[in-house]
Amino acid sequence: MAIDCLVLGAGQEVGKSCVVVTINGKRIMFDCGMHMAYNDHRQYPDFSRISKSCDFNNAIDCIVITHFHLDHIGALPFFTEICGYNGPIYMTYPTRALAPIMLEDYRKVLVDRRGEVEQFTSDHIAECMKKVIAVDLKQTVQVDKDLQIRAYYAGHVLGAAMFYAKVGDSAMVYTGDYNMTPDRHLGAARIDRLQLDLLITESTYATTVRDSKYAREREFLKAVHKCVAGGGKVLIPAFALGRAQELCILLDDYWERMNLRVPIYFSAGLTIQANMYYKMLISWTSQKVKETYNAFDFKNVHNFDRSLIDAPGPCVLFATPGMLTGGFSLEVFKHWAPSEMNLITLPGYCLAGTIGNKLMSGNPTIELEGTKIDVRCQIHQLAFSPHTDGKGIMDLVKFLSPQHVILVHGEKPKMATLKERIQSELGIKCYDPANNESMCIPSTHYVKAGASDAFIRSCMNPNFQFLKSGSEEKSVSGSKCTEGTLPLWIKDERVAEGILVLEKSEKAKVVHQDELLLMLGEKRHEVQFAYCCPVNVDELEKFTTTSLTPTARMLRDPNKSSLIRLLVAKLSRKLSEGNIQDFGEHLQVESFHLSVCLKDTCPYRITNGLEDKPRTAFVCCTWSAADDKLARKIISAMENRDLVET
């Protein structure tokens, strides 16, 4: 059994997420995104690798979309309406509500404003969304009789989800984008502890460990306040959903506390519409937002009119899209970038090839459509990304402890570093395939086995262990125990020890070990150890005078029962495990059997002159290999040696 993974996007890069996974014959496409930095053949995944005949309905059982960002959903209308996929598409309710808004806004920017070739129409988007089946968090969806999926809260953006998929005994999780720490409007990712063959996780910030959220917020507010106090304008390129709401909550609260009157603007009705959806879907937000009345009714935030672009005076403007990939944010950038008074704040990750990425690299001049723009304004990058950092990724991998990990949605050098950490620190096999690479991951296959009556009875039998606490330990009541009154701890650890039998043409069965001997017609063979141990009676009496009764101290001739009593007293003080049983002429601790040896010559005795010493007795000891460690402790105690653990 194996899980096959075909990485069509986000392999050793950020953008165009699309991974096709085959689990025991069932094929799932996780995400169907586009690359925001390209407008050629690299913009969409190479769908021909799924099916050379382009028969996608027979090639794919379902599509799972983790959230509404274009790098995860941007190619979906193209794949369904142009390529012809008509099968089921699963996403959460908020994603289904917000995805068509994001797709339509992108189409307008691409076609109406930039005049580029239309990849899909408004009708295509509408028809695509008709194929969507919305799911709740932790709702187990039976796609067919073999395949089931389940969504878990991912944080990141409204409606984002990790998805669990299982076919037979094989199971995996695809995270999409997620955040392991809560922010002002969303909670942290939450998932059950699952038994997984494979975890496919994003690695956008594979090597980054972020500082305190509050420190980052103070840095952002300080930069914005300084700019507007000096009469400058602040441009914050952000996507309409997610960071815009997070930063609006932060700025609106700060404006109220500082009593500032500088206007804050949204660039278009899209964000106003987005805020309406946030209010409708408030159950998906953080606990703090749920408890705040009208959390998305911002007192200091207003709509922006294009006529205000060159208006005098300071302001703060949220403009879409993020990364300055086009649209209104890029138009405003052209006007505001040449002024040293202004500030452009990039609140998150910027893809390679975008204007935002070039600004982060320190390019003093940006060329747009043949026109060079001198960038004299301040450029400020802030870690307000909704992605988890390197520590969060490691925490999730450690928590889930899958058999294998595949890293996607990250930069190649940083992914290689994280891959090494996962393998060296967690001992989990990890891979970082490039785009269009396939991987085969071995998966779990369970065999159903019956159990014999004898095996079940053995599992139900008590397995008592009697332990005495040390003299320095406190009793349950909290007071120290006096000598000779140490508490007895009793444990019942029932261990199911059986043997799996696989007979030809018969169902697998677990039997008791004694049954197997009968089945094979064999006798039990056990390894036994034996040793004739010297014991100094005077030493025993010295050791026990404080704890034995006067009648015991009067014993001078080492007959069998008196010597056994002396040994029981000493071992009771020395041993914290095992139940010491006194049978008069012998004692027993687990399989360890001890009796007084009266032979002049014993085959298990090591002659080293001790037999000639007065007041020396010998005891014969036998034990099984399973109790060898316990036996060494007992013998060392009797010979007055300190046992060193090895």
Active site residue 202: yes
Element (H, E) at 140: strand 140-142
Q: 144 in helix, strand or coil?
A: coil
Please state, as a whole number, how many other Cβ atoms lie within 10 Å of the Cβ of residue 49. 14
Token pair in block for residue 92: 């959460």
Three-state SS letters, 555-591 = CCCCCHHHHHHHHHHHHHHHCCCCCEEECCCEEEECC
- Helices 390-400 and 412-426 cross at an angle (nearest 10°) of 40
At residue 475, φ and ψ (nearest 5 deg) are -75, 175
DSSP string over 484-506 = T---EEEEE------EEE--TTS
Token pair in block for residue 473: 């330990």
Token pair in block for residue 343: 């500030």
Q: With beta carbons less than 8 A apart as the criterion, state whether 38 and 435 touch.
A: no
Is cis: bond before 603, omega within 30 of 0? Answer: no
Token pair in block for residue 103: 């797709």
**CB burial class (10 A; 0-12, 13-18, 19+) of residue 267?**
buried
Cβ contacts of residue 521 below 8 Å, gap of 6+? none
Element (H, E) at 399: helix 390-400
Cβ contacts of residue 252 below 8 Å, gap of 6+? 264, 298, 299, 300, 301
CA distance 645 to 469: 19
CA distance 199 to 222: 40
DSSP string over 526-548 = --EEEEEEEEEHHHHHHHHTTTS
What is the rounded end-to-end Cα distance, in angstroms, of the chain? Answer: 41
Q: With beta carbons less than 8 A apart as the criterion, state whether 90 and 173 touch.
A: no
What strands lie across the sheet with 499-501, from one edge to the other?
A: 450-451, 509-511, 499-501
- Helices 537-544 and 560-574 cross at an angle (nearest 10°) of 60
Please state, as a whole number, how many other Cβ atoms lie within 10 Å of the Cβ of residue 529. 16
615: closest CA among 540, 542, 536, 553?
Answer: 536
Q: 188 in helix, strand or coil?
A: coil
Q: Of 81, 202, 411, 590, which is the active-site residue?
A: 202
CA distance 645 to 632: 10
277: closest CA among 328, 242, 309?
Answer: 242
Going through 10-108 in order, the beta strands assigned E by DSSP cover 18-23, 26-30, 62-64, 89-92
Residues classed as catalytic: 202
